Structures are given as structure tokens and as C-alpha cells.
Amino acid sequence: TPKWEAKSLEKWTSLLPSCKKTANLSTIEEQLLRNNVKYCLPAFVDMHGVPKTKLVPVDHARSMCQGSELFTGAALDGVPQDVSDNEVMAVGDAPLFMHLPYQRDVAWFPASLYLNGSPFEACSRNIFARAAEKAKSMNLLMKLGIEAEFFVFRQDDGMKPVSRLADLEKPCYDAGAMQPVS
């Protein structure tokens, strides 16, 4: 058992931006059950802007918000990990959950990634948090629009995008694959 597991989950989950709001997981669990939610989606965005997630039964919502959902980083395109590295945890940001408007029995949770108990460097939410802290240290306030996107280009190939969404080499955990089929 890695020694970081013994640390209090509250120490590193308190780094989440929404934890400035008080998250009572019991209240959130009750709300999920009262609204007939069956599944939770702890979601993060990869370097291509593609949402990644897992379908988590609602009775595991509490543990999901404390880091129970593990993802193999090496299975994700652009994640700086080898197959032998520890998995990353997707920690659902409880105060920010929302019901999917087209599938009311599913709740979506924005998630931050952690590795060995620390924020995972390559997670887009963690990148934003670091940039916001740097801005704060310079007496600036960083604001972000609702459609935060970034693009990675290959300079050696005439500035073409690295991403080809339709045929990603590693499509693991794609949220789009879990969408209802009509």
C-alpha cells in the first residue's frame, strides 16, 4: 500500500477550486438519491479537449468524490505516463455536480486528477489552478470563459493540430461513447 493513501483525503481534496464552498457529501448523496440519479460521471478533459469519464453507480458517489476512481494514464493519449506508473485518480468535485439535461438519471461531476496524493501535473483543471495561483501572486485575478479550450500543434508539420478526434490512437474512457443511442 502506498504511504500516501494513509494521508487524509481532505488535505488534497481541499485544493479543488470548489472546496471553497462547503461540500457535505451526505447532503449531496441524499440529493442524488432524491432525484433518482442512478449513475455519476467524474469527468476530466484530455489534451484533445475530449471529455473522459467512467460510469459510477450512485451508491459509490461518496468514494468517487474522495478519489476511488482510477484511470490508467498510459491508456490516454498525451498523458506523460508509462504502463508501469501508478494510475491517476479522478476526484469528483461534489459542489459542482449537475444532472445531464438529456439523461436525468445521470449526474456529471467535473473532476481533477491526482497522482500519489498530489495534483497531477497534466490535468487541465490543475493547470488552470496553477496559472490562477501565479496570477494571484502578481496581484492579478484570472478569469476563464465557459468554453476553455487549448490546441496543440506540430511545428514540424506546417502547424497542423496534433489531435485528430475521429481517430484517436487511445480512445479509452471517452465520454462520448457513453451517450444514449437514439
Rounded mean pLDDT, 74-85 = 82
Closest CA to 144 of 130, 164, 160, 162: 130
Cβ atoms of residues 145 and 48 within 8 Å: no
Mean pLDDT of the chain: 78
User: Helix, strand, or coil here: 43?
Assistant: strand
Cβ atoms of residues 79 and 146 within 8 Å: no
pTM of the complete model: 0.71
The Cα-based distances of 148 to 124, 125, 132, 171 in angstroms read 10, 10, 14, 21
Residue 157 is given by DSSP the state G
**CA 99 to CA 109: how far, in whole Å?**
9
Closest CA to 94 of 7, 8, 37, 27: 27
pLDDT surpasses 70 at 103: yes
Please give the pLDDT value at position 1: 34
**CA 106 to CA 102: how far, in whole Å?**
9
Q: Three cell numbers at 42? A: 467524474
DSSP string for 117-129: TEE-TT-HHHHHH
Rounded mean pLDDT, 129-145 = 85
pLDDT tens string 25-72:
888 999 999 999 999 999 998 877 788 999 999 999 999 998 899 998
- Higher per-residue pLDDT: 10 or 143: 143
DSSP string for 51-81: EE---EEGGGHHHHTTT-EEE-GGGBTT---
**CA 74 to CA 120: how far, in whole Å?**
13
pLDDT tens string 149-169:
556 666 776 666 666 555 566
